């Protein structure tokens, strides 16, 4: 599966479709029914980044089971309670996995849920029962109104997902977990810098100020403040930067800082009138 986060609008249709398909429905031997509450086999993570005091950008990240190439859950399972199908889909056997609560903690992505009533760990199956019945994609993909999700056979160069990934550089979510996930993403949030510029003599928002960001290797990126004096840079690395502010008739100002987190707001930068 590949998901283009630049298109995702956070409508939660994929999560609703998953509930519609699995709540109250057993699909043995692949899965027992998903409980109505507490389980989100298709979770939606929301990552907020401050672009300005009144402007917050939200990235929605659909996160089903990652159907890893090296599943941590499979290593923790007893009696082959978790297996991988020839197509790569990772399945929790609803009979063999009864009582194996350790599988919930074994998933580094938090994608396995505990069914208290059934005494059973459960998760996304990529709707394997539908694929076996001739469907080309799971319900979550089928339900997306903006077509931000792609699903198919990577070994088939003519498949939609193969063509999509040929054109785009996709990456895994939290690759440091080392499980070789088969769900890839376009547009994962990267460290982000923002701030606001004010003209000191007027005490008003400074629009059209030139903002130059310089990295440790000397590479420069340029931007301009908007009508509200706000500026932003995305897709940064966690390194030291220098940012310079230039406006005709005003004293240039330079700030040095180190990008340490996912989001950093420099606050208000005051430009004084040149003498």
Which CATH number belongs to the domain containing residue 181 in this structure? Answer: 3.30.70.20
Residues 177 and 229 in one domain: no
Average pLDDT over residues 232-258: 94
Domain final position from 123, 151, 186? 186
Name the residue range of residue 256's domain: 192-271
Residue 264 has pLDDT above 80, yes or no: yes
Residues 155 and 266 in one domain: no
Per-residue model confidence as pLDDT tens digits over 65-119: 999 999 999 999 999 999 999 999 999 999 999 999 999 999 999 999 999 999 9
Residue that has been written with the tokens 């606050």 in this structure: 267
Residue 55 has pLDDT above 80, yes or no: no
Residue 53 has pLDDT above 70, yes or no: no
Residues 138 and 179 in one domain: yes
Q: pTM for the complete prediction?
A: 0.79
- pLDDT at position 16 is 98
Average pLDDT over residues 164-174: 92
Task: Give the Cα separation of 64 and 44 in Å (integer).
Answer: 8
Residue ranges of E strands in the chain: 2-4, 43-52, 55-63, 82-84, 90-92, 113-115, 120-122, 149-150, 184-186, 192-199, 204-205, 210-214, 220-224, 230-233, 240-246, 253-258, 263-271
Residues 254 and 169 in one domain: no
**pLDDT band with cut points at 50, 70 and 90 for residue 51:** low
Q: Which of 5-9, 111-115, 172-176 has the lowest mean pLDDT?
A: 172-176
| Of 263 and 70, the one with more pLDDT | 70
Q: Which of 14-18, 43-47, 49-53, 254-258 has the lowest mean pLDDT?
A: 49-53
């Amino acid at each position: 599966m590949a998901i283009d986060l630049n298109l995702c609008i956070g409508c939660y249709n994929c999560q609703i479709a998953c509930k519609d398909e699995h709540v109250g429905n057993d699909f043995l031997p692949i899965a027992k029914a998903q409980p109505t509450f507490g389980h989100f086999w298709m979770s939606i993570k929301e990552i907020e980044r401050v672009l300005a005091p009144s402007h917050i950008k939200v990235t929605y990240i659909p996160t089903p089971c990652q159907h890893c190439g090296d599943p941590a859950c499979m290593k923790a399972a007893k009696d082959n309670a978790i297996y991988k199908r020839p197509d790569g889909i990772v399945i929790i056997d609803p009979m063999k996995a009864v009582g194996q609560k350790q599988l919930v903690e074994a998933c580094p992505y938090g994608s396995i849920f505990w069914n208290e009533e059934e005494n059973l760990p459960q998760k996304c199956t990529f709707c394997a029962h539908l694929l076996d019945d001739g469907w080309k994609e799971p319900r979550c993909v089928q339900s997306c109104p903006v077509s931000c999700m792609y699903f198919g056979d990577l070994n088939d160069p003519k498949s939609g997902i193969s063509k999509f990934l040929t054109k785009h550089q996709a990456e895994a979510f939290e690759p440091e977990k080392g499980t070789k996930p088969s769900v890839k993403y376009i547009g994962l949030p990267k460290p982000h810098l923002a701030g606001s510029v004010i003209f000191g003599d007027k005490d008003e928002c400074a629009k059209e100020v030139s903002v130059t960001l310089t990295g440790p290797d000397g590479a420069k990126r340029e931007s301009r403040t908007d009508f509200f004096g706000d500026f932003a840079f995305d897709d940064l690395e966690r390194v030291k930067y220098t940012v310079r502010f230039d406006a005709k008739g005003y004293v240039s100002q330079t700030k040095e800082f180190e990008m340490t987190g996912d989001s950093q707001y420099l606050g208000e930068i005051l430009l004084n009138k040149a003498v």
